[in-house]
């Protein structure tokens, strides 16, 4: 029914995250209030004398062949089109908009609101030369994995930039890896932190703060093997793999970099490996069998 699609859409509005919905033509059940002349094109086929028209075969059995709108309420008059009707003056338009949204960026205020209401969004430039380092926001901690100086050779000489790889995580199962390049180390670290905050994954963890099962992940030429460990082991892994696991909050794990040693690619490979892991309860639910079967 149409209500299922539109109700799912309205429920997503109440949630803060906006997912993408798939467009499925919902099967339509004809009610008794159908139109007197449903427009079924295949039935017109026999009466048409237009030899240039070629009709497509509608193969879908659930197709929508009739359009049954709800009943017309009494006394309904179609509203005027937007270009007929009285043209509003600019003042009226500005007034209507300001009622809805406040003065925003229009530069004038007819209702007496403060015109500079959007100024609080602008970051005040510090009177001192140095920009203050921002505090840790959103509860995510950043750790720099690697900072490298990279060069681009141009006609005039070599142009140096810094490339920072940063892992961002709260110690509760969310991690993200980000890269950023800039001419200075500090701004490169900031860029990579914003990048990392955009690609965050959740790590499935058991109650002993370890993985549910072993997993391999690869990204590029870097291959990483992750294995759960009993409590008290700690994180036994090298380089960027250790940093990613620590920022995720995993306490006991074993990891090995099997392919290349590239820090960025190994960090990405651990993220790939972690994304492939499933909790036992999830798998049991998807397969429809009780969890005891999984341990046989």
Q: How far is the CB of 116 from other proteins (least distance, A)?
A: 8
Which is nearest to 160 in space by CA: 135, 181, 191?
181
Residue 56 touching other proteins (CB under 8 A): yes
Q: How far is the CB of 235 from other proteins (least distance, A)?
A: 34
Residue 138 touching other proteins (CB under 8 A): no
Q: How far is the CB of 7 from other proteins (least distance, A)?
A: 5
Rounded-to-integer distance, Cα 270 and Cα 257, Å: 9
Rounded-to-integer distance, Cα 232 and Cα 211, Å: 14
Q: What are phi and psi of 168, to 5 degrees?
A: -120, 135
Rounded-to-integer distance, Cα 62 and Cα 271, Å: 42
Q: What is the DSSP letter of 79?
A: P
Q: Which residue has the tokens 């921002």?
A: 134
Residue 72 touching other proteins (CB under 8 A): yes
Q: Which two tokens stand for residue 137?
A: 């926001």
For residue 245, give the 3-state DSSP assignment.
Answer: helix
Nearest 5°: the CA angle 178, 183, 188 is: 20
Q: How far is the CB of 141 from other proteins (least distance, A)?
A: 24
Q: How far is the CB of 258 from other proteins (least distance, A)?
A: 34
Residue 69 touching other proteins (CB under 8 A): yes
Q: Which is nearer to other proteins, 72 or 155 (CB)?
A: 72
Q: What are phi and psi of 139, to 5 degrees?
A: 75, 15
Q: Which residue has the tokens 């089109």?
A: 81
List the one residue from 15, 33, 100, 153 that touches other proteins (CB under 8 A).
100
Contact between 6 and 13 under an 8 Å Cβ cutoff? The reply is: no
Residue 21 touching other proteins (CB under 8 A): yes
Q: Which is nearer to other proteins, 87 or 230 (CB)?
A: 87
Q: Which two tokens stand for residue 275?
A: 């994304």
Q: Which is nearer to other proteins, 19 or 152 (CB)?
A: 19
State the sign of the Cα–Cα–Cα–Cα dihedral 28, 30, 31, 35.
positive
Residue 7 touching other proteins (CB under 8 A): yes
Q: How far is the CB of 135 from other proteins (least distance, A)?
A: 19
List the one residue from 15, 122, 153, 154 that touches other proteins (CB under 8 A).
122
**# chain residues binding other proteins, by CB under 8 A:** 62
Interface residues toward other proteins, by CB under 8 A = 2-3, 5-7, 9-10, 12-13, 17-23, 25, 28, 38-39, 41, 50, 52-56, 58, 60, 63-67, 69-73, 76, 78-79, 81-83, 88, 93, 96-98, 100-102, 104-108, 115, 118, 121-122
């Amino acid at each position: 029914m149409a209500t299922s699609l539109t109700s799912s859409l309205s429920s997503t509005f109440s949630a803060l995250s906006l997912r993408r919905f798939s467009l499925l033509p919902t099967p339509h059940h004809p009610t008794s209030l159908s139109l007197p002349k449903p427009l079924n094109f295949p039935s017109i086929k026999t009466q048409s004398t237009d030899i240039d028209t070629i009709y497509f075969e509608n193969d879908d059995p659930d197709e929508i062949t009739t359009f049954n709108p709800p009943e017309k309420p009494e006394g309904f008059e179609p509203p005027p089109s937007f270009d007929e009707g009285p043209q509003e003056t600019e003042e009226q338009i500005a007034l209507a908009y300001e009622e809805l949204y406040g003065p925003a960026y229009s530069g004038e205020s007819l209702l007496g609101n403060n015109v500079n209401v959007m100024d609080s969004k602008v970051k005040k430039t510090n009177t001192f030369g140095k920009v203050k380092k921002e505090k840790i926001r959103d509860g995510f901690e950043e750790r720099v994995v690697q900072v490298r100086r990279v060069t681009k050779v141009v006609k005039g000489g070599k142009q140096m930039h810094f490339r920072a790889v940063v892992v961002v995580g709260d110690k509760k199962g969310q991690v993200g890896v980000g890269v950023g390049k800039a001419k200075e180390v500090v701004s490169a670290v900031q860029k990579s932190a914003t990048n990392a905050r955009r690609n965050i994954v959740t790590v499935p963890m058991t109650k002993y703060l370890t993985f549910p099962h072993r997993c391999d992940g690869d990204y590029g030429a870097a291959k990483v093997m992750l294995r759960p460990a009993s409590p008290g082991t700690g994180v036994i892994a090298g380089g960027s793999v250790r940093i990613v696991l620590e920022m995720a909050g995993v306490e006991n794990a074993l990891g090995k970099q099997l392919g290349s040693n590239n820090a960025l690619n190994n960090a990405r490979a651990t993220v790939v490996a972690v994304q492939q892991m499933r909790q036992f309860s999830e798998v049991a639910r998807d397969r429809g069998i009780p969890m005891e079967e999984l341990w046989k």
